[in-house]
Amino acid sequence: MINVKKIGYFIIFLISGASLFLLGFDYKKQQSPIELYQVYLDGEILGVIKNKEKLEEYIDVQGEALKEKFNVDKIYGPSTLEIKKIITYNNRVNTVEEIYDKINELKAFTVKGYQFNIKNEFSEKTIYVIDDKIFEEAVEDTISTFVGEDSYRLYKTDNQLKIETVGSIIENIYLEDEITYKETNIPVNEKIYLDKAELAQFLLYGENVEMFKYTVQEGDTIEMVAFNNKISVEEFLIANPEFTSRSNLLFPGQEVTIGVPDPQIRVVVEEHIVREVETEFKTEIRYDETRFVGDNEIIAKGEKGLSRVTQKTKTVNGQIVFVDHISSEELKPAINQVIVKGNKNLPHIGTPDAWTWPTGSGYVITTFYGYRINPFTNEREFHQAIDIAIGYGAEIYASNNGVVEKISYEEGGYGNYVIINHNNGYYTVYAHLSKATVTVGQVVRSGQLIGYMGSTGASTGPHLHFEVWVGKPHAGGYKIRPSEVLSY
C-alpha cells in the first residue's frame, strides 16, 4: 500500500532536488570578472582586446616599410588612439588583427619626431622633422644663404676684421619669427623632413621649388636677367651664390639659375658700415640773353667728389629695410658742372639732359626699380621706383627745373609727397617726406631744396621713394625706370 505521506515527501524532495540542480547549474555559468582592454579612436570605441602590448607590437611589426622609410626603430598608433583597461564579465574580444585593420582604415600611424611652429606677422606654419638637429642645421644653412657663408662663419666665430678705414661689421643676426617646438607623434601621411638640404630648400623657396636654367645672351646684365624673369637682383644673387654683387659680369653662353624665393623665416642682419662713396656733382644752368634756344655750352665740366660715410643698416632676407646715417666726412668736394643756355629756355621748363640726383651724398639705394617682396604685405610686386636712404631729415632736391604741381599726404602709401611738373613731358614724385619746403605753383630750379627725408606713409624707415613719370601721374601717365634720366 502506497503511503501518501511518503509520496508527498518524495515529490517535495524531487522538486527540491530539481531546484537545487537548476540553481547549481546557474551558479556555474557566472564567471569571475576579468581584465580586458577597450580600444578608442577619436573617442569612438573600436573594440575590446585581451592584451594592450600585443596590439602595440602588431602595429610595430606591420610598420616595417614605414620604419625603413623614416629610418626609425618603432611605429606607433595614431595620437588619438586610447587603450583603456576595463573590468568586465563579458569575455567576447576582438583580435589584434581586427583592431589594426579598423585603425588602418580610419587614421594614419605615427612616428616619434619633432613639431616646429613658425609664426610671424604674415603667416603661421608647422614643420615636422624626425630629428630636431635637422631643423637647426636647415635654419643655419638658410641664414648662411642670406648673409654669405664666409661672413656668417666669421660672425659666429667672432673673427670679423675690424674696420680700419672702410669696411663692414655684422653687429647682430637673428630671426624675426616666434619659433616653438615639441616632441610628438607625427602621422606618417604628413610631410616629414628627413634631411637638412630638403628642409633648407623649403625654408628658402617655400612651395616655389620650380627652378630653371637660363642661358646668358649677348649684352645681358644681372639686372636685366633678373628683371626679365620677374625677380629682384637680390633674389638672383640668392639663387646664384657664385655672384657677389649686381655689378658682376655675365658672359654669353653662361648658365644661371632662375628661382623665385618665398622665405618661410625672416633673417634679420644688423650691420655697421663705413664706405667711401662718390658725391654727385650738380649741374648749374646759366641763361644768356644773347644766345638762341638750343645754343648750349658747357663752360665748366663737373667732377664727382668723394665722402666717407658711416651707416647702420638693417636687412630682412637680404633686402634693406632701414638705414641710419651716423656721419659723413668729405674727402674731396664735388665740382659743379656749368651749362650756359639760351634765355628762352625758361627756368620752369626742365632740361632733358641735365637731371640732378635728388639727395645728398652717402645715400644707399635700398630698393631698385623691379620686382621685390613688399615688406608690408609679403606679396610679390613690381616696384616702379627707387628707394634712396641716407637718414632722417636729409635734404631732398628737385631733380630738374619745373613747377610744383601737388603737395599732399597719403595714408598707407606715399605719406607726405611732392609732385613736380617739368613741363617737358616728365613729372617726378618725391614720397615719404618728413615735410615739404615748397608750395604748389612754385617754380623750382634743378637741385633746389624741396623737403626733408622722412618715414611717413607705408615706410619701414626714413627714405625717399622717387618716381619718374612720362605724362601726369595717376592721370594717364606711366612710370619709367629712373635710370633713364639719372645715372646710378
What pLDDT score does 19 carry? 35
What is 171-215 written as a DSSP string? EEEEE-SEEEEEEEEEETTS-EE-SHHHHHHHHHHTT----EEEE
In a domain, 10, yes or no: no
User: What pLDDT does 378 receive?
Assistant: 87
- CA dihedral 13→17→18→19, nearest 10 degrees, is 100
DSSP conformation letters of 345-390: S-TTS--TT----SB-SS-EEEE-SEEEE-TTT--EEEE-SEEEE-
Q: Give the pLDDT band of residue 5 (cuts 50, 70, 90).
A: very low
pLDDT value of position 125? 94
For the stretch 128-145, pLDDT in tens is 999 999 999 999 999 999
Please give the grid coordinates belonging to residue 376.
608690408
Tell how strand 402-410 and strand 443-444 pair up: antiparallel
Mean pLDDT of the chain: 89
Task: Give pLDDT, residue 8.
Answer: 42
Predicted pLDDT at 290: 78
Residues 305 and 409 in one domain: yes
pLDDT by residue (tens digit) across 377-436? 888 899 999 999 999 999 999 999 999 999 999 998 999 999 999 999 999 999 999 999
Domain range enclosing 56: 34-107
Q: Are residues 398 and 326 in the same domain?
A: yes
The one-letter amino acid code at 31 reads: Q
Is residue 182 domain-shared with residue 70, that is, in the same domain?
A: no
The answer for residues whose C-beta is within 8 angstroms of residue 158's C-beta and 6 or more apart is none
Looking at residue 344, its pLDDT comes to 58
Q: Are residues 199 and 224 in the same domain?
A: yes
Mean pLDDT across 247-263: 92
Whole-angstrom distance, CA of residue 263 vs CA of residue 293? 55
Domain end: 80, 107, 134, which one?
107
Are residues 308 and 385 located together in one domain of the fold? yes
Got the DSSP string for 286-306?
EEETTSPTT--EEEE--B-EE
pLDDT value, residue 14: 34
Choosing from 218, 237, 258, the residue where a domain stops is 258
How far apart, in whole angstroms, are the C-alpha atoms of residue 61 and residue 131?
Answer: 22
The length of the chain is: 488
Q: How many CB atoms lie within 10 A of CB 398?
A: 27
With respect to residue 17, please indicate whether it lies within any of the assigned structural domains.
no
- What CATH number is attached to the domain comprising 473? 2.70.70.10
Kindly state whether residues 325 and 285 are assigned to the same domain.
yes
Residue 251: strand, helix, or coil: coil
- Residue 416 is assigned to a structural domain of this protein: yes
Strand 167-175, strand 81-88: pairing? unpaired
Residue 67 included in any domain:
yes
pLDDT band at 352 (very low <50, low <70, confident <90, very high): confident
Q: Tell whether 477 and 347 lie within a shared domain.
A: yes
Instruction: Assess if residue 8 is contained within a domain.
Output: no
Say whether both 236 and 314 belong to one domain: no
156-170 average pLDDT score: 95
On whether residue 26 sits in a domain, the answer given is: no
Q: Taking Cα atoms as reference points, which of 54, 310, 32, 320 lies closest to residue 167?
A: 310
What are the phi and psi torsion angles at 401 (to 5°)?
Answer: -60, 150
Residue 389 corresponds to which cell in the numbers above?
A: 636712404
432, 390 Cβ separation under 8 angstroms = no
> In this structure, is residue 9 part of a structural domain?
no
Query: Average pLDDT of 46-59?
Result: 95
In a domain, 131, yes or no: yes
Same structural domain for residues 311 and 442? yes
Q: Specify the 3-state DSSP secondary structure of 60.
A: helix
Whether the model clears a pTM of 0.85, i.e. scores above it, the answer is no
Residue 262 · residue 208 · CB < 8 Å: yes
Q: Supply the pLDDT for residue 261.
A: 87
Residue 20, pLDDT > 90, answer: no
Residue 233 clears pLDDT 50, i.e. is over it = yes
The pLDDT of residue 10 is: 35
pLDDT of 147 reads 93
Residue 169 has pLDDT above 80, yes or no: yes
Give the pLDDT of residue 85.
94
Q: Are residues 139 and 58 in the same domain?
A: no
Asked whether residue 294 falls in the same domain as residue 435, the answer is yes
Asked if 107 contacts 177 with a C-beta cutoff of 8 angstroms, the reply is: no
Q: Give residue 162's pLDDT.
A: 94
63, 81, 107: which is the final residue of a domain?
A: 107
Give Dmax (Cα) for the chain: 173
Same domain, 71 and 161: no
Q: What domain count does the chain have?
A: 3
Give the count of alpha carbons within 13 A of 281, CB side only: 18
* pLDDT tens column, 203-220: 999 886 778 899 999 999
Q: What is the DSSP string of 323-335?
A: EEEEEEEEEE--B
